[in-house]
Amino acid sequence: MKLVSKDLTAASSKMVVLSILSRKESYGYEILETIKLFSSDGWVWYDGMIYPVLHKMERDKLIKSRWEESIETKRKRRYYSITEKGRKMLETEILGWKLVDNTLSKILGLQTC
């Protein structure tokens, strides 16, 4: 069941990817699996969604990548890691999303002012 709209996914994609990469270096499929795990399968991302995001973030110097051959499969895999610029953007994004979450919670009556 898809619980997160395409628009919300697009709006939060940078923050989600940067958050994952702030924990450890990762590759595309592993990022998808991490999102799936942390959302308890409620947030569906596809290969066709993640790679354009990763490529744009790399062009914007928020992340960097390197190729490495997998020991198990002998296939090359592209690993992504966060840059200093990406860490700074993540800090700013987190503050913005906390404000959005807090505001929506109040509007929806989940919190009192």
CATH 3.40.50.300 assigned to domain 6-107? The reply is no
Mean pLDDT of 82-106: 95
How many other C-beta atoms lie within 10 A of the C-beta of residue 82? 23
Q: Where are the domains of the chain?
A: 6-107
Handedness of CA 23, 27, 30, 34 (dihedral sign): positive
pLDDT of residue 111: 60
pLDDT of residue 70: 81
- The whole model's pTM is what? 0.86
Please say if the pLDDT value at position 90 is more than 70: yes
**pLDDT tens digits for range 26-72:** 999 999 999 999 988 888 888 888 999 999 999 999 999 999 998 88
The percentage of the chain sitting over the pLDDT mark of 70, rounded to a whole number, equals 95
Please say if the pLDDT value at position 8 is more than 90: no
Q: Identify the H or E element spanning 27.
A: strand 26-27
